[in-house]
Amino acid sequence: MGGRLEPVVARARALVRDAIAADDRPLLVALSGGADSLALAAVTAFVARKSSRTARAVVIDHGLQPGSDRIAAHAAEQAERLGLASRVVAVDVAAADEGIESAARRVRYAALEADAAVDDALVLLAHTLDDQAETVLLGLGRGSGPRSIAGMPARDGRWVRPFLRLRRAETESICRAHELTWWDDPHNLDPRFRRVRIRQELLPLMDDVLGGGVAAALARTADLVRADTEMLDVLAERAHTDDAEALRAMPAALRLRVLRRLALGGGAAAGELSAEHLARVDELVTDWRGQQRVELPGHVSVVRSGNRLRCIRTPVAG
């Protein structure tokens, strides 16, 4: 890339620089070959070089389309030209009952976690503001409470998302500035997937009705809700108890978070634990009528014994 520095490139570099400033671990870019992750690779390569940071890229080949191995190899080659040591990891996506999107996400994150654990690296993910807006709308559709519309955090342990303030179109501009060619995943155009219909139908309609700016507004909403949720989670950790009377005296917003911590600590499946499940556990505190147990995902049940709540393994019917 020569000549005048594009403003969007300078902004993206600043976002990556700020995102990794407080942590000196090696950097690992999760690369798909799409515009978002290629732009992240280009910016990260520059920032790493200027700050003498170790950085590399991993391309996850899901094997879901013909020629995916060639696409993955091309992405790795472009990352190498940018100065990032790269490798391709092939994974087996078995959808089972969870759907192809969920299965692909699960195996992708598992592969990245395993690779990052080798050198205790930070994993940089290329989610954009548009991804955040779509995530918020999916959460609203599930109706699972504030946690489901808090969106994706900019930092969660080793997972870092520097581009949550960039639009998808801006990542394409960054790729063009670096003369990178990206791949458009056909799944991103397939209306069978709910996220695609949100992207292609719902968000444009909302922009039309509300006068534009909806994606940015949804992302701001996620930031505000996440800040409140994180504060309540801190209070819930401090207030942790299994005493029903102490729980009953708490405000509902705090009590439900304490109950969630109790359920997760007992082995409930975090990704499947819903607001409806927690409402039923809450009834053991606020509307106790001798209920036998509340069964939760993960083969865990919450029972009340006297004035105490405890988690047990759900008995097997037979």
Question: Contact at 8 Å (CB) between 312 and 303?
Answer: yes
143 is an annotated ligand-binding site residue:
no
68 is an annotated ligand-binding site residue:
no
Q: Does residue 292 carry a pLDDT above 90?
A: no
Tell me the pTM: 0.87
Q: What is the pLDDT averaged over residues 88-94? A: 87
Q: How far apart are CA 224 and CA 130, in angstroms?
A: 17
Q: What is the pLDDT averaged over residues 107-123? A: 95
267 is an annotated ligand-binding site residue:
no
306 is an annotated ligand-binding site residue:
no
pLDDT digits (tens, 9 = 90+) for 33-49: 999 999 999 999 999 99
228 is an annotated ligand-binding site residue:
no
Q: What is the pLDDT averaged over residues 141-150? A: 81
pLDDT digits (tens, 9 = 90+) for 210-252: 999 999 999 999 999 999 999 999 999 999 999 999 999 999 9
Domains (range + CATH), the chain: 7-126+161-189 (3.40.50.620), 239-313 (3.30.465.60)
Q: How far apart are CA 236 and CA 253, in angstroms?
A: 9
Q: What is the pLDDT averaged over residues 100-126? A: 92
Radius of gyration of the chain (CA): 22
At 318, is the pLDDT very low, low, confident or very high (cuts 50, 70, 90)? very low
36 is an annotated ligand-binding site residue:
yes
Q: Does residue 2 carry a pLDDT above 80?
A: no
Residues 6+ apart with CB under 8 A from 90: 61, 63, 69, 72
Pick from 134, 125, 132: nearest CA to 57: 125
Q: What is the pLDDT averaged over residues 9-34? A: 96
Q: Does residue 103 carry a pLDDT above 60?
A: yes
Strand, coil or helix: what is 182? coil
Q: How far apart are CA 75 and CA 72, in angstroms?
A: 5
pLDDT at 108: 93
pLDDT digits (tens, 9 = 90+) for 173-189: 999 999 999 998 887 88
pLDDT digits (tens, 9 = 90+) for 118-135: 999 999 999 999 999 999
